[in-house]
Amino acid sequence: MVSRMDGRLKVTGQARYGLDRTMPGMVYGYVVLSTIAHGEIAAMDVTAAKSARGVLGVYSPFDPLELSTPASPMMGETWVPLQNREVAYYGQPIGFVVAETFEQARDAAALIEVTYHQRPALTSLRDGLATAEDAPPAFNGSPQTLTVLASGVESIEDALAASPVVVEATYATASQHHAAMEPHSAVAVWDDEGLTVYSGNQASDLQAAELAGALGEDLSSVRAVNPFVGGAFGGKGRTSAPAFLAAAAARALGRPVKAALTREQVFTATAGRAETMQKISLGAERDGTLVAVRHDSWCTTAADRSFVEPTSFGTSREWYATPNLAISQKMVPLHIPQTTFMRAPGEAPGSFALESAMDELAVALGMDPIELRLRNNSTAPPGKDLQWSSKHLDECFRIGAAQFGWADRSPRGRTDGDWLVGMGTATAMFPALRFPATVEVTLRADDSAVVATSGADPGTGLLTVLSLIGAESLDIAPDRVTPRLGDSAFPAGGMSGGSTATASAGTAIMIAATKVIDDLQTLASSPGAPFEGREVTYADGRVHAGGRAMTFGELLREMDHSSISARGSSAPGEEMTKHSFSSFGAQFCEVRVHRWTREARVSRMLGVFDAGRVINEKTARSQLAGGMIWGVSAALHEGLELEANGRFANADFANYLIPVNADIPEIDVHFVQYPDTLHNAVGAKGLGEIGVVGMAAAIANALYNATGIRVRHIPIRIEDLL
């Protein structure tokens, strides 16, 4: 268990983020945003802005930068700004001012006069329900609407009608924003070799590719660098508006350009999490065995329909064993900022609905909510033949119940002075995934090693984990391994997203390490080498033969090599045809609601997770505790408030509520560790996102236990508990 290697740099302010770069001749850009939600820009008067002091360039759809929308946008989304005069949401980037100083750029931006042909804007999920559209297949190609019926059953309605106990309710979750500490920003500089962009993101190679596409440049002349990233959570998976604009303006002006969104701009000029409405029907036998699960979802999406929050698909499709299952997913296009992946996309809001409904079913049955969940534990996703490669959800609940004191829970809560105290639980699941990744492992003559891949460490601890897997694979101490991440010049390392990075890059490290050790052994026994013609083995960082050993550094020095490198690649493969893969968890919380003020406090939390092998317990625990705090935030704090004109009323940290330390109690995180080598050689199943899953429902369920009030929307506010 080790501390994150970049921790000290970060907490002492020595870590240099993208925006911390300065360079000679650098100038500053300021992004201009729309002030209507729907319409066309009729004119932009930039005369005053252009003649303002220090201004070097004013760009708009009338006087655009050379940027284009790629023909095949990544995952159906493109965020390239200033492409036309259409305004599809309030706060859309519509201009870019570059000046000698930040203040000059900002002041000049305020001088731009925009005239719009305004059109009526549709901004509310409820108003848009009538025009809801079927969601396209999910990002992995699976249909988001599907029905699985037991033989002889005609319809999900019939299955529900035949169920002795039925629970049916509609749940709602608010629109949210990643609100990472580091605002989206970039420093872009061109030289003889091309463009370098310093900007926080989740995959430097993908960012370089996206920039090259938008700029019409060859990929080999675009480099994206992001040694440190101040939080991402899905919101930095794509290249941001300031990165596109800074890169194009730097090319036009021949000067390095720095651009950053203000905190308020981040809420609209980058994408957030959709608002959802979800209707769930659960049919069960009197002993709790599920007969039918129906989950119909609606989510908001931007006018370009670029992203669907897959709540039904991400949750009910796989969670519980049921002979009859029907899920549907609809999207409601609105004049709102773009939506995208945000920590546990699908599962986070989806689990609020499903796990609240499971609690309601437990109440209806008079059954313990854990017993109900275990009764319906699945060995494979419903309707699929492929069994879970490993699943220890029952053990998570068993350990969690014992550690949390679940046996002391009364179905009607308890009181402690003026406080009503309740306990709640929920299941957590998140698919175990992998992306293609390539890693280069280098052994150096000074007996150190380097593990390099493009990727990114957006605060997850990936850098530390890569050094640990590198050390293990090379059989040397971790402090001899330098991990290199966050530069598109390194081999393409996949994305820090989808809870995949450890499994993806880790497997590639193991393959690269095996190769470089092979090459080292070949070198050691080659003609003229110290072990010429002998059978050479490798262990403990040394080559061995005939009772003699040399460290790899000694061998390389002896042979006048400064280093030896090999690359390894891994990608999902045959295993996908053999098993289903997921991480699992059991969430527990205790809440206290004040009898008179109705203030709700979370007083204890515990998460027990089956995420396969955990490489580094300390950073893993931070990931999961962070996710569980997001769950508190979703349940009790977070929600964007949209005014009728499409403007967010609370797009800043004073009004967009997120928990502070005083809101968060002691958090316990426990792992059951069963390495899942059916999924990948490292045995890790992924734990970046599962921490948030289920926690909002666990809190709502605990509030019900404490007060008898069932709240079916989040965030839950004081007025909901009156």
Task: Give catalytic residues, as residue numbers.
Answer: 689
687 half-sphere exposure, CB direction, 13 A CA radius? 33
Spatial distance between the Cα atoms of 259 and 274, rounded to a whole number of angstroms: 27
> Mask: binding to ligand MOS, 153-192, rule CB under 6 A, as x and -?
----------------------------------------
Q: Which stretch binds ligand MOS (CB under 6 A): 107-115, 117-125, 336-344, 534-542?
A: 336-344
Provide the minimum distance between the beta carbon of 331 and ligand MOS in the complex, in angstroms, as a whole number: 18
Q: Which residues pair with 224 in a beta bridge?
A: 197
**Contact residue for ligand MOS among 18, 57, 183, 234 (CB under 6 A):** 234
Backbone φ, ψ for residue 363 (5° rounding): -65, -45
What the block records as the tokens of 58 is 């004013």
Q: How far is CA 686 from CA 398, 430, 585, 586, 690, in A?
A: 22, 8, 12, 15, 8
Q: Which residue, 342 or 452, is less far from ligand MOS as judged by CB? A: 342
Least Å distance, CB 236 to ligand MOS, is 8
Asked if 342 is part of the footprint of ligand MOS (rule: CB under 6 A), the reply reads yes
Would you list the DSSP string of 339-396?
A: B---SSTTHHHHHHHHHHHHHHHHHHHT--HHHHHHHTB-SS-TT--PPBS---HHHH
The region of 204-212, 300-308, 341-349, 463-471 touching ligand MOS under the rule CB under 6 A is 341-349
CB of 687 to ligand MOS, least distance (A): 12
Residue range at the interface with ligand MOS (CB under 6 A); choices 68-76, 149-157, 165-173, 233-241: 233-241
Residues 202-221 that bind ligand MOS (CB under 6 A): 202
Instruction: Compute the distance between CA of residue 426 and CA of residue 301 in angstroms, rounded to an integer.
Output: 28
Among 345, 346, 470, 694, binds ligand MOS (CB under 6 A): 345
Q: Backbone phi, then psi, for 70, in 5-degree steps?
A: -60, 150
In angstroms, the CA 311 to CA 329 distance is 8
Applying CB under 6 A, what is the total number of residues that bind ligand MOS?
A: 11
**Residues 74 and 202 sit within 8 Å (Cβ to Cβ):** no
Judged by beta carbon, residue 202 or residue 438, the one nearer ligand MOS is 202
- Which residue lies nearer to ligand MOS by CB, 227 or 272? 272
> Residue 69, Cβ neighbours under 10 Å: how many?
13
Quick one: which segment of 41-49, 55-63, 230-238, 363-371 binds ligand MOS (CB under 6 A)? 230-238
- Select from 122-130, 326-334, 338-346, 535-543 the region that touches ligand MOS (CB under 6 A): 338-346
Which of 226/376 has CB closer to ligand MOS? Answer: 226
Residue number, 202 or 504, with CB nearest to ligand MOS? 202
Q: Which is nearer to ligand MOS, 497 or 639 (CB)?
A: 497
The Cα 551–Cα 541 span in angstroms is: 6
Among 297, 364, 345, smallest CA distance to 134 is for 297
Report the Cα–Cα distance between both ends of the chain, in Å, rounded: 46
Binding mask 485-514 toward ligand MOS (x if CB under 6 A, else -) reads ------------xx----------------
Q: Closer to ligand MOS at the Cβ: 435 or 588?
A: 435
Q: Distances from the Cα of 653 to the Cαs of 265, 637, 641, 656, 665, in angstroms?
A: 12, 12, 13, 5, 21
Binding to ligand MOS by CB under 6 A, coded x per residue (else -) over 532-571, reads: ----------------------------------------
Contact segment (CB under 6 A) with ligand MOS among 169-177, 322-330, 339-347, 534-542 equals 339-347
Smallest separation, CB 699 to ligand MOS (Å): 21
CA dist 349 and 277 (Å) reads 9
The CA distance from 325 to 152, in Å, is: 14
Of 343, 409, 542, 685, the residue at the interface with ligand MOS (CB under 6 A) is 343
321-343: b (≥16 Cβ within 10 Å) or e: bbbbbbbbbbbbbbbbbbbbbbb
Under 8 Å between Cβ of 487 and 204: yes
Nearest residue relative to ligand MOS (C-beta): 234
Rounded CA separation 90/336 (Å):
7
What is the binding site for ligand MOS (CB under 6 A)?
202, 232-234, 237, 341-343, 345, 497-498
